[in-house]
Amino acid sequence: MYKNLDPILHTPLRLAIVSYLMAHSKGSFKELKENTKATSGNISVQLKKLEEAGYLRIEKSFLDNYPLTQVALTKKGIKAFENYVEALKKYIF
């Protein structure tokens, strides 16, 4: 693992999820699944890890009697992503 790169974000699927949320402020489980092309089980596991790290919050509700899971970054998650990008730039430039 590269020094200064957040191990929570340094996995492709978690990075894809957080990148999507940075661009869209929030997203549904369905949107994340469609955009990452990951399985439901894999997304669930990665969302749980990001939630445990305090990087995002998960809200579960219903829409027209169907389950709706909405995900949004926390301030800590936004800062972690910004720090990750800055650390990554040091390797590129």
Decide which of 37 and 91 is more confident.
37
What the block records as the tokens of 41 is: 């089980």
Do residues 24 and 18 make contact, with C-beta atoms less than 8 angstroms apart? Answer: no
Which pLDDT band, with edges at 50, 70 and 90, does 93 fall under? confident
Give me the pLDDT at residue 49, please: 98
Q: What is the rounded CA–CA span in Å between residue 72 and residue 57?
A: 6
Average pLDDT over all residues of the chain: 94
Give me the pLDDT at residue 90, please: 86
Do residues 50 and 16 make contact, with C-beta atoms less than 8 angstroms apart? Answer: no
User: What pTM was estimated for this model as a whole?
Assistant: 0.91
Give me the pLDDT at residue 2, please: 59
What the block records as the tokens of 5 is: 């790169």
- Per-state percent for the chain, helix, strand, coil, to nearest 5: 55, 20, 25
- Selecting from 3.40.50.2020, 1.10.10.10, 3.10.20.30, 3.30.930.10, what CATH number does the domain 12-92 have? 1.10.10.10
What the block records as the tokens of 90 is: 């040091």
The pLDDT of residue 55 is above 60: yes
